[in-house]
Each structure stands twice: as C-alpha cells, then as structure tokens.
Structure 1
C-alpha cells in the first residue's frame, strides 16, 4: 500500500481502512482516507506493510525517519516506545498523551484503554505543574498514567504515577503539657521527665537524650509549639520564643524547613507519624501507626516534600525510586497544590 507523507501525518486511500485499521487499529479513518501518525507510519514502513512517498518520490526507512524526526519533536523516542509496546502485544494509539494503550486481550471498540503513556528522555526534566496537569487529565478519565523514560542506550523504564490518599491511626495528643524546653544549635531539648516520656511514648515525638530528657527535631518542635504542647526558650537569655520567631529561626538553620514543615503538619493531622528519612536520602519515612516505640513497624512510604515550582530531574527521581524499592517502600512526593496537599506515588511498573 502506498502512503503519502504530508506535513505531520501520512495518508492512505480508503482500502487501507479495512486492511490496517479494522484489523490492526492503526491510524484513524477520515472520510475516504486513513490518517497515520508519523510514528505509526514509521512502524508500518519498518514492517514493510506500506511504502511512503513524498512529492511522488519513494522514501526509504532512513529517509522517512530523518524527515519525521525534524517534523515531530522527540520522534525517535516515541518511536522506540511505540515499537516496544507493539512488540509486547499491545494495541497502541496516539492520544492527548503520547499514546493510549489497551490492556492485553483488548482493543479499540472492545475494551476501554488502560493507560496513557507520556514519553520523556532521561536528559529532560519534568515540572510538577506539567506532571499534575497530565495526572489530573488521566485521573478524570480513570486511566493509569505511565511515564516512559528512554535512556541514552534506548532502554525504557516505565513508571506509574498516581495520587494516593494516606491516613493513619495515631490519636492526636490532647494532654496539656506546656513542657519547658530549650532551643540549642539545631534541635530542641525537653527538660521535664514526664513530658519527655509522654511525648515519646504516646506520640512518638523525638528521641530520648537519656532516661529523663527528650531531643526534638526543628520540625517536631514547631508542630508541638503550634499545638501549645511545649514552651521553647532561648538558651542564652532564657526568653520564651513565640511560634513566628521560632519558625523564622528554624528557616535560617534549615533552608527547606518551611516546605517540610507544612507537609509534616498535614501528615500529623491525618493521624500519620513522619520521622526523618535522612538515611534514605529523603525528608521523611512514614508510619501509619505506632503502638509503642518498642515495637516500631515497617514504614511503608518515603515522603519527599516539594514546592509547587519543583522540577523533576529524571535521573535523580529514578535514584530515589530505586532506593525506596530496595528497602521495600513506596516513593511519595508531597506538595501543596492549589490549596490542597497532594501525595504523588511514583514507582516502577512492568508493562
């Protein structure tokens, strides 16, 4: 079958509708012609199902591939992913994402599409704004969002991106402690023995300095200060610090304090127990519930707080996800998006 290369598509005559669309679901019928995307056309040319002409001259596969790569950004990456999915036995169609993929055994007209696939190079970056826009589009039509990342050797890693709702079972601390504590270099010490014991054993805040005293992180201290559970004093002048002063001081000590704190507070308000994720290279490890500090369960999630202007550098994102998987956890990115806290789970998936 002879096809004609136009600007950003390839056209075939009516007979191709029965041969290519009705049997393989390639292209889209438009009246008396079948329109193929450049990626679909390249695949069919490679499989020797069609020949392609431009200005009445027949194009070889290399000639067409080079022309298509100049007319369609990231054409070669999309071709690599398309070919991979087709050779795995999936029906694949162009869509508002790069591709719409049908489940095994399904096809257009028989079953709904399962996934929307977005193709990116490992060298590219993805803004959280772009990611959330795509995720909202996919969520609205109840599809699975897949990022297909193509590395420099043309290997593909597939990541599923989804919103998750997490809630815990940790009860809110209601005791009227107002425990005296001091801000030292970059942490807070609670001096009262009973308050230290209650905060640690009932709320799993901080870590014991000894049998009588408790040390708190800046994040934990700000939250407990906001809840009026502790009173923080300056170590030099013994002056009581209000929440605003402490927040500003903590932000000077830790540049990411504000982003981390607001996510921490949201998780605590949801009954979750966030603890530092430093050993895993992230902000928090997250517990659904802790009955006793002596019986700490496995944490299911690693959580990294990001801003609404965050840019994902894909190799860095990949390392974070790989590390989380290696310790049997899910990698979650948390942010305040349009006034709501969103938790985005990104994990490797097999297609």
Structure 2
C-alpha cells in the first residue's frame, strides 16, 4: 500500500491500485511493475527491497506470481489500463479508462504446463458473461512468450445454426409408399445397396460416401441418425434385424465414446448443419453451414472436437489444435454434453 500522496501520482494518472481511506492498495504485480519503472520504493521491516528481492517475496506469497507479472507487464506496455478482476485482470478498451468507460475484457493467466478443467473454463465464462465481458485466456509458455485466446460460447443468443433448409429426402420405394430401407452392418460402417436411395441420400442430403455406383457407405453416427429417423433398418451379417440398442452396443464396442460423439452429431443435424468427419484435421467433425451441391462443396466453417464435462484441456495440445484450425481458415469449437445442455465453446487466437 502507499500513502495519500501516491493517489494523484499513481491512481489518477495510471489507475494503479485501489484507493481507500487516503491509502492506495497495490497488487503485487502492480507494485512489481512500478518498482521496475522506478516509480515507487518498497520496504520490508524498514529495509528497501530491490526488484529481485521483491520478486522472490511476491512469488512466495502468490501462486504463479511470475506468470501474472509477465502478462501484466506485457499489457501495460501495450498501452492498456488494467485492474484486478474476478479472474486475474480486467482491461479497458484503447482510449478508455476506469471511471470513464466500462472494462472490455477479463483476462485469466494460465501456464502451458497446467491443465485447464472444462468445469473451471465454464465458470470463468459464466463470470464474464454475467457482466457482459470478453473472456481472454493468456497462455504463458516455458520461454515466457504469451499467446492470447478469446474463448466464448458460440451458441450464445441462439446464433449457432446452419442453413440446410431441406429435410432428409423422401425415400419412397414403391406404390406402398415410404418404408425404412434395409442396410447391412459390416464392422465399422453400414452399407445400403439400393442405388436410388443411395444417390438420394448422398447427392441431396450429403450422407456417407458412395462405395461404388450402387452402394452407399455410412459412418456409424450417420447410420444411427437415419435409423432413429426411421429412414433405414439395419441388419447384421447374420441377416438379423438390429434394434437401436443393439446397434449402439456394437458401435460402442468399436468406439467407446460413440454415444458422446453421437449426441453432438444429432444436435448439429438438428441445428441444420452438415457434420462430416474431421479426421484429417485431428478432430471429430468438420462442419458446413450449407452445401448446395457436391460439385461445389464449400470450405467447412468449423472444426469441432467432442469432449466430456470432466475434460482437462492439455494446453500444448489445445494450442496446436487452434493453430491448425486457424491456419486452414476454420473456427475451432469444443462441444460437451453436460446432461443439462450441450456447450459449444470456441477458442480463437487473437492479437492484443
């Protein structure tokens, strides 16, 4: 803390600290920065501390102090006004300041070595959204370089929808009208051998991939979706008709997280997106907002990875996935079915 004489010099000019009862209370990072800039002196037991001594003192008192100081110093030297917040810092837009404009963003500081629980991320998002702020993750690597990510819910205010305006094609098979189409379960995929139906599903609704001129092969999630829509019925290799539960049991034996993945797939379809495998990008899905023709398939807008509510974000892996998505001009989304709702969380690398 500092005396009353510090309030005009430090708070009113640079908005350092928090004034109360003619005393200015400084956070350790603020004090370290001001000491580094030779704006203040710091005493402990009447002995002046130099910068290195105070650095050691603060590091003993506050977890990850050095990371917070690295980020604080970086933002201050970029010209931002910074104050304490529910996360680590709140920052004001360029040209703004405390008392004149509202803070724009909350900043949370994280080491690349520390896992970030999905539950903690959601709590940070809730805190920032409740006060209508931008949530920024400042990730500090082992060489003290900082990468900034904006993290947000993409389905906030019901804005996360595709534009596929037509339903699954009508699969009439004769004068009797509609009935489910037989399909065969191999091991990892389902095959339809009805040429007319296969072409409709592939050309008009972008399901699966043609195996040859007559047959369509479906992924397991696509097959279950069409089965639940009563568009196909699935038979095993012994020509026995399978129930949905039997199919799910088989699919889950191949892919343990099958139902977790399917819940997201189904929701994306209900939101009128076109989800296709994201394997080539190391994710579960690549997502198209709209596909008008297989002859003119656009670039997918999103990459999406399915996670559990107890997921731990490994920061080097997460950072690499975001960098890859941005390098191919796509947005990186993580999706988790919490039981109450499906959370769609976007990570975007930003420049400050």
Is the shorter-chain TM-score for this pair beyond 0.5, marking a shared fold?
yes
Quick one: distance in 1 between partners of 2:267 and 2:280? 22
User: Pairwise CA RMSD of aligned residues?
Assistant: 1.0
Quick one: distance in 1 between partners of 2:283 and 2:333? 10
Q: Which residue does 1:34 correspond to in 2? A: 24
Are the aligned partners of 1:122 and 1:314 in contact in 2 as well (CA < 8 Å)? yes
What are the within-5 Å matches in structure 2 for residues 63-74 of structure 1?
Answer: 63-74=53-64
> Structure 2: any 5+ residue segments left out of the alignment?
171-177
Are the aligned partners of 1:274 and 1:287 in contact in 2 as well (CA < 8 Å)? yes
Quick one: distance in 2 between partners of 1:130 and 1:194? 50
Q: Which residue does 2:180 correspond to in 1? A: 178
- The Cα of 1:341 is off from its aligned counterpart by 1.4
Q: Which residue does 1:326 correspond to in 2? A: 327
Q: Which residue does 1:168 correspond to in 2? A: 162
Quick one: distance in 2 between partners of 1:180 and 1:53? 82
What are the within-5 Å matches in structure 2 for residues 150-229 of structure 1?
Answer: 150-165=140-155, 166-170=160-164, 171-173=166-168, 175=170, 176-229=178-231
What are the within-5 Å matches in structure 2 for residues 253-268 of structure 1?
Answer: 253-268=254-269
TM-score (norm 1): 0.95
Are the aligned partners of 2:274 and 2:287 in contact in 1 as well (CA < 8 Å)? yes
In the TM superposition, what whole-angstrom CA distance separates every residue of 1:280-303 from its partner, at most 9, and x where no partner exists? 000000001111222211101001
Task: Please state whether the residue corresponding to 1:77 is helix, strand or coil.
Answer: helix
In the TM superposition, what whole-angstrom CA distance separates every residue of 1:238-296 from its partner, at most 9, and x where no partner exists? 00001111011101011221111000000001111100000000000000111122221
Task: Please state whether the residue corresponding to 2:2 is helix, strand or coil.
Answer: strand
Q: Which residue does 2:235 correspond to in 1? A: 233
Quick one: distance in 1 between partners of 2:261 and 2:96? 44
Q: Which residue does 1:5 correspond to in 2? A: none
Are the aligned partners of 1:177 and 1:195 in contact in 2 as well (CA < 8 Å)? no
Kindly indicate whether residue 130 of structure 2 is the aligned counterpart of residue 128 of structure 1.
Answer: no
- The Cα of 1:337 is off from its aligned counterpart by 3.0
- The Cα of 1:193 is off from its aligned counterpart by 1.2
Are the aligned partners of 1:148 and 1:159 in contact in 2 as well (CA < 8 Å)? yes
Quick one: distance in 1 between partners of 2:227 and 2:19? 65
What are the within-5 Å matches in structure 2 for residues 48-87 of structure 1?
Answer: 48-87=38-77
Are the aligned partners of 1:172 and 1:271 in contact in 2 as well (CA < 8 Å)? no
Following TM superposition, the consecutive aligned residue runs of length 4 or more in structure 1 with deviations greater than 2 angstroms are: 174-177
In the TM superposition, what whole-angstrom CA distance separates every residue of 1:74-95 from its partner, at most 9, and x where no partner exists? 0000000000000000001111
Task: Please state whether the residue corresponding to 1:210 is helix, strand or coil.
Answer: coil
Kindly indicate whether residue 253 of structure 2 is the aligned counterpart of residue 252 of structure 1.
Answer: yes
Task: Please state whether the residue corresponding to 2:295 is helix, strand or coil.
Answer: coil
- The Cα of 1:172 is off from its aligned counterpart by 2.4
Quick one: distance in 2 between partners of 1:130 and 1:329? 25
Task: Please state whether the residue corresponding to 2:8 is helix, strand or coil.
Answer: helix
- The Cα of 1:110 is off from its aligned counterpart by 1.1
Q: Which residue does 1:7 correspond to in 2? A: none
> Structure 1: any 5+ residue segments left out of the alignment?
1-10
Quick one: distance in 2 between partners of 1:314 and 1:169? 33
Task: Please state whether the residue corresponding to 1:13 is helix, strand or coil.
Answer: coil
Kindly indicate whether residue 86 of structure 2 is the aligned counterpart of residue 96 of structure 1.
Answer: yes
Q: Which residue does 1:143 correspond to in 2? A: 133
Q: Which residue does 2:336 correspond to in 1? A: 335
Are the aligned partners of 1:200 and 1:208 in contact in 2 as well (CA < 8 Å)? yes
Q: Which residue does 1:115 correspond to in 2? A: 105
Quick one: distance in 1 between partners of 2:151 and 2:338? 16
What are the within-5 Å matches in structure 2 for residues 289-328 of structure 1?
Answer: 289-328=290-329
Are the aligned partners of 1:332 and 1:344 in contact in 2 as well (CA < 8 Å)? yes
Kindly indicate whether residue 343 of structure 2 is the aligned counterpart of residue 345 of structure 1.
Answer: no
Quick one: distance in 2 between partners of 1:46 and 1:291? 60
TM-score (norm 2): 0.95
Quick one: distance in 2 between partners of 1:50 and 1:187? 69
